[in-house]
Amino acid sequence: MTELIARAFPWILLAPAVLPLVYVEGLLYPFVAPKTLFFRALAIVAAAAFVYLVFSGHTFRFGRLRHLVSWIPGALLVVAYITSFVGTDFYHSFWSIYDRGDGLLTLTAAVLFFYLILLYADKDFLRRLLTAVAWVGSLVALYAVLQWLQLTFGVNIPLITDETRGRVGSTLGNAAFLAAYLGLTFFATLSVVSEYWRAMRHAPWTAKVLFSGAALQLLAIFLTATRGGILAFVLIGLLITVYLAWRGEGRRRTYARGGLAAALLVAALFVGFREQIAQVPIAPLQRIASISLEDVTVSSRLFVWENVGREALKQPITGVGAEHVDILFNRVYDPSAIVEQWFDRSHNAYLDYFVQYGILGFLLYFALVASLAWTSWRLWQKRGEQPLGDLKATYGLYILLAVLVYAMQNFFVFDTSMTLWLLLALLAAAYAASDETTSTTPSRITLPRHVSLLAGVVILTFLYPVFIQPLRANLALAEAYIYHIVDIDRTTSVLERGLSLNTYADIEYGYQLYSMYTDRQQHMLEGEELITAYEFARDTLAANYERYPYDARTAVYLAHVLDSAPEAAEVDEEFLRAVLARAIELSPKRIQPWYLLANISLKKGDAATGIARNQAYREAIEVLKEYTELVPNYAEPRFIIAGLYLVMGERIEAANWAAEGLALYTKPHADTAQRAIKYYIGIEDWPNALRFMQDFVSEDSEKYEEVYDLAKLYFLTGDKDKALQIVERLRRDAPGLVETDPAFMQAIGS
């Protein structure tokens, strides 16, 4: 058995390289969750095999642990555990959530793989690692290109999932994650191709296939339209060109200088025609050309970096612990400055490490990246030496380029388990390839075989809480999602079973139940089924509200569910106010809890008449006025206040508040537009109603009822032709809808 495990051990160490190809339908998160669960499971299997081999007297290169490079990942892990232990919630820091899949457990698995590779790797391990990464990266890129073809031309390609967000994410499910991953695999693939060509002096079929794979990876990075990834490659290309123009010889220097001149010309043309390029129907070019301080994504990132960074400086030593970036984001969230409502990352890996683990964590992460750059540089500088030779040393150059791309990209993205593992695996394998002097030594602890086997089996039992139970909980949540409308009894039964597993899935059960109830069940169920759905969502969120008192998202969601209770359900107003108070405390500028607080009075006003009604409405208005003082540059609450004054018949006051909202409305915003539409339709200001309706819904949207309203507004503003075009489209795409308003059909002459 020892021989069998020893032969399998290197393949276990390489197994995470295949995980980017793993996505499993039937899970709620088919792209992220399976990879994370299997990655953690592989770490346990690798640890069990290592312990068995060590206790059985198998030899490893323990001498490598004396070198400084080997200390950095371990030190980072220790700092992460300490800061998380003194941070907000160690439990959440350790497990993370399905949707993210990070946390201390994943970091532990990645660092564990680093040390196991470091202790095992021989001179050929780096080649095997790069080869595996090259093939997997090529397949992931091929999937991405096929996904783009399916998205662009509307064809249905077997086994290729639909991409609904407009940017290809391949098997990673996210364009930014894909670009970051391929930024590493591209250079790994080139290194393998280079080895084939230099070793065999001709191009075998494998080299040709992998060279095509590298081209696909570069194309896929472009198709992701990820600006950080594209800019990183542009900068790396310029650095290589500058280096060759300065240090190159012969034709290389000539070509490099010509390339620099061409690059300057292209840059000048790009700057000069940026507005025209932004109109070209090619997403990557549009996104690059649209970079500016006014761009929604750019302004959001800058807002997060500035404000979250400022909050993090208040606790620079301890940080907030792993998986708690969202706490700082919620404190500084301002809907007038940022479109996204929920962030659990700053979209800057360096800032994330500082926020979570303090200044020491940031420095160790930076040292980790720098150590790979230094190790790959040393490996490259060994070219011509024996026994290493030029062939293996060439790997160093490509790894150096990969880590430079990684370092640049991570100013705009953050690690997944796949990229973090690959970074650490490359560091361990590259160091091993450059350290041929370290000999293998047996462990000083040798135990009887049955004791060694028992130790390995004990470690394998961790698969139950780490892999099996979370997998069951995720499958239960996915099954509930499928049936949450058609079979509420089955849904609640499945969810109860999933929650009884006592995994870290509880917080996401709350998030998903909120979405199920407020988005669909509230509007599609009735009677006892509606009561059952409401009570289950309420109780689950209430339990999470008690367990995670720092989570603003849970507090807001619970308040919204309570506010949306069926008429037959009783709501404890005192408890609702307490929930809203916590939500406002955790995220002061977020409008939802303020609106829900005002809605308590609004509901009382709706149920009353005369003076009592207006008094309740004024109480709601006072709440919203307090919010406008807190967020003076936000238009939405002003349109809500204007609408309330309009209902009370105070048209002058309503007009004043609407005018303030209109002056503040400088960028399209769907929620604000929806509030404004109601007000302007109420005063029959059709041009302004049309303007906001255009921001709320596009003509080719599948929100057919809203598109029908858009057609009516075009007609009311005198654009009958546009109205007819939309009506004809609705007749084709939503049969029967336009006939629901025969008066409009008669007026439009259709």
| Residue 379 near residue 402, CB atoms below 8 Å | no
Residues in Cβ contact with 84 at an 8 Å cutoff, skipping those fewer than 6 apart = 90, 93, 94, 104, 321, 322, 356, 357
| Residue 579 near residue 559, CB atoms below 8 Å | yes
| Residue 614 near residue 604, CB atoms below 8 Å | no
Phi, psi of 692 (to 5 degrees): -75, -35
Amino acid at site 249: E
Q: Which of 46, 2, 38, 5 is nearest to 20 (CA)?
A: 38
Q: What is the pLDDT of residue 194?
A: 84
Amino acid at site 571: V
Q: Which residue has the tokens 């990684």?
A: 406
Phi, psi of 266 (to 5 degrees): -60, -40
Q: CA 710, 713, 718 angle in degrees (round to 5)?
A: 130
Q: Answer yes or no: pTM beyond 0.75.
A: yes
Q: What is the pLDDT of residue 290?
A: 67
CA distance between the termini of the chain? 81
Nearest 10 degrees: Cα torsion 51, 54, 56, 61: 150
3 state SS of 27:
strand
Q: CA 454, 456, 461 angle in degrees (round to 5)?
A: 95
Q: How far is CA 412 from CA 228, 335, 415, 421, in A?
A: 6, 21, 10, 19
Q: Which residue has the tokens 């293996």?
A: 392
Q: Give me the count of residues in the chain.
A: 750
d(CA 254, CA 730): 60
d(CA 184, CA 180): 7
426 - beta bridge partners? Answer: none
442 - beta bridge partners? Answer: 59
Amino acid at site 39: F
| Residue 298 near residue 409, CB atoms below 8 Å | no
Rg (CA), the chain: 29
3 state SS of 123:
coil
Q: What is the pLDDT of residue 750?
A: 62
Nearest 10 degrees: Cα torsion 477, 481, 486, 491: 20
Residue spans of beta strands (DSSP E) within 416-558: 441-442
**Residue 19 DSSP class:** G
3 state SS of 677:
helix
Burial status of residue 448 (CB atoms within 10 A of its CB: 0-12, 13-18, 19 or more): exposed
Report domain extents, the chain.
2-442, 463-589
**Residue 568 DSSP class:** T
Question: Considering all CA atoms of the chain, what is the largest pairwise distance in Å, rounded to the nearest integer?
Answer: 95
Report the b/e string of 577-596 with b at 16+ CB within 10 A: eebbebbbebbbbbbbbbbb
d(CA 303, CA 665): 18
Q: How far is CA 582 from CA 390, 506, 558, 561, 631, in A?
A: 63, 20, 11, 15, 18
d(CA 84, CA 456): 28
CATH number, span 463-589: 1.25.40
Burial status of residue 743 (CB atoms within 10 A of its CB: 0-12, 13-18, 19 or more): exposed
Residue 652, number of CB atoms within 10 A of its CB: 7
Element (H, E) at 480: helix 469-483
Q: Copy the structure tokens of residue 424.
A: 């650490």
Q: What is the pLDDT of residue 335?
A: 92
* Torsion-angle region of 522 (φ positive above 0: left; ψ -120 to 50: alpha; else: beta): alpha
Q: Copy the structure tokens of residue 676.
A: 């404004």
Structure confidence by residue, pLDDT tens digits, 90-149:
999 999 998 888 899 999 999 999 999 999 998 789 999 999 999 999 999 999 999 998
Q: What is the DSSP string of 596-664?
A: HHHHHHHHHHHT--HHHHHHHHHHHHHHHHHHHHHSTT-SHHHHHHHHHHHHTT-HHHHHHHHHHHHHH
Residue 608, number of CB atoms within 10 A of its CB: 14
3 state SS of 580:
helix
Q: What is the DSSP string of 232-278?
A: HHHHHHHHHHHHHHHH--THHHHHHHHHHHHHHHHHHHHHHTHHHHT
Q: CA 739, 741, 743 angle in degrees (round to 5)?
A: 115
Residue 154, number of CB atoms within 10 A of its CB: 7
Q: Copy the structure tokens of residue 53.
A: 């081999």
Q: Which residue has the tokens 């060509």?
A: 197
d(CA 23, CA 41): 15
Structure confidence by residue, pLDDT tens digits, 497-516:
999 999 999 999 999 999 99
Q: What is the pLDDT of residue 212?
A: 93
Nearest 10 degrees: Cα torsion 135, 139, 141, 145: 150
**Where are the alpha helices (H) located in 248-387, listed in sequence order?**
251-272, 274-277, 283-289, 296-312, 325-332, 349-381
Burial status of residue 201 (CB atoms within 10 A of its CB: 0-12, 13-18, 19 or more): exposed
Residue 298, number of CB atoms within 10 A of its CB: 14
Q: Which of 426, 222, 76, 540 is nearest to 532 (CA)?
A: 540
Q: Which residue has the tokens 């009735």?
A: 526
| Residue 141 near residue 210, CB atoms below 8 Å | no
Q: What is the pLDDT of residue 319?
A: 94
Q: Copy the structure tokens of residue 271.
A: 């700057």
Element (H, E) at 59: strand 59-60
**Residues of the chain with confidence (pLDDT) below 70:** 163-166, 198-203, 273-274, 276-283, 285-287, 289-295, 383-392, 436-447, 750
Q: What is the pLDDT of residue 687?
A: 94
Number of H helices, E strands in the chain: 35, 2
